[in-house]
Amino acid sequence: MLRINRYLDALTKSMSKMDSMSFWPLRVEEIAAYFTDLEAEDLHKKMNLFQEKGVSLQEAAKLFHTPSFIREILPDLIIGSKFTKLSREDRIKLPERFFDLLEEMHSGDIFCDNGKNLILSKEEVSDLVNSTLWIKQVELKDAQKIHRLSSSLLSLMWTLYFYPWPNMGFEIHGPYDVSDILEKDYVLLIRDFFNPRPVDLWPQLDEFSVSQVKLLTLYQDIDINIDIFDHMTHNASLASSTRGFVIYLNGDIFDNLRELDNLNQQILSKSSVISEVVEGMTKEEKVLKFIDIRYYGLRKLRGYFGEDWHRPLKVKERVKRWGLIEVPKEELGPSIEELRRMFDPWDDFRPKY
């Protein structure tokens, strides 16, 4: 099957489990028109430059953080390309180039169609499991605290990068089968919160001491599924299934479990500070911040080409000229069939902005 069709299958499968009304602080339809065509033209140009200059996939992939980040920006990019003068052929090439990058970054199915987001190779997993100083005598209350911490970090990501782009700051990968290294039905899951402190976006985080949290967890007898957007579902309690863990804070092992509550409180506190700032913004400020986040996500790529990563003036001019796009809060989003057509670069069907 063509990669684009596999992509569309995985995308619509995931989107059928979402709900456009739950997007925060605005719906994507309220911001996409201001920047997606500009971004599509820009990324099309940059992808061509990579090819012309003979930049390796490995080198190019490093500019996009993680696979989930690419999978997260692709839908708007495809739609954006339909509002440009790009030919249909070029429109089709654009996601294909990103699929090539995903292949470079991934060791499993790049669309997580098998319920796994596998980045590490089997050898890397083996080395990691064998070299990690696991805490294996796990009391339920500690396992609950770890997952409380994880829920706080996930919420912080939504607060900092808004919904739908939280993967600008984290990646959950796995579940890696480690039964042959440890015990029967053991899996490893890695939650990597690699940018909880984007000071360029949120100066309020200047004194926040948490710059990375990596949580490695071993689970047993649990079926964990991860979809194309890094959404995780499972069939049993995570805390009860925890058999081992290790927490890295700013690159160092964090093993003072009595301090976990304190760490959790620090994260919750920052999440509250930023969400209060967001809730206090005017709609125009939210629109611009939303777009700033998108440009921030591509800062490494733009930096590679010697460009300023910040949102171009043209975006703000459009917001002023076109006015704010209002979508009634309770209005249902497009159907799954319409979404599939929108995200299909072969299909000219596009949303009505």
Partner 1 sequence: MKVLLKGIPASGGLIQGQVKIIRNLVDLNRIEIGDILVASITNPSMIVAIQKARAIVTDHGGICSHPAIVARELGIPCVVGTREATTVLRDGMMVIVNGEEGIVYVEDQ
User: Are 225 and 232 spatial neighbours (Cβ–Cβ below 8 Å)?
Assistant: yes
Residue 285 CB, nearest approach to partner 1 (Å): 16
Q: Which of 268, 325, 327, 342 binds partner 1 (CB under 8 A)?
A: 268
Closest distance between partner 1 and the C-beta of residue 231, in Å?
Answer: 4
> Quick one: which of 156, 190, 218, 287 contacts partner 1 (CB under 8 A)?
156
221 touches partner 1 (CB under 8 A): no
136-155 positions binding partner 1, by CB under 8 A: 144, 147-148, 150-152, 154-155
Measured from the CB atom, is 69 or 162 closer to partner 1? 162
- Is there a cis peptide before residue 25, judged by omega within 30 degrees of 0? yes
C-alpha–C-alpha distance, residues 203 and 149, integer Å: 23
Report phi then psi at 142, rounded to 5: -70, -40
Told to check if 25 binds partner 1 by CB under 8 A, we report: yes
Q: Is 275 in the site for partner 1 (CB under 8 A)?
A: yes
Name the residue nearer to partner 1 (CB basis): 24 or 353: 24
The interface region with partner 1, picked from 29-37, 50-58, 265-273, 307-315 by CB under 8 A, is 265-273
User: Using the rule CB under 8 A, is 338 a contact of partner 1?
Assistant: no
Could you say whether residue 124 binds partner 1 (CB under 8 A)? no
Binding site for partner 1 (CB under 8 A): 14, 16-19, 21-22, 24-25, 144, 147-148, 150-152, 154-156, 158-159, 163, 227, 229, 231-234, 236-240, 268, 271-272, 275-276, 278-279
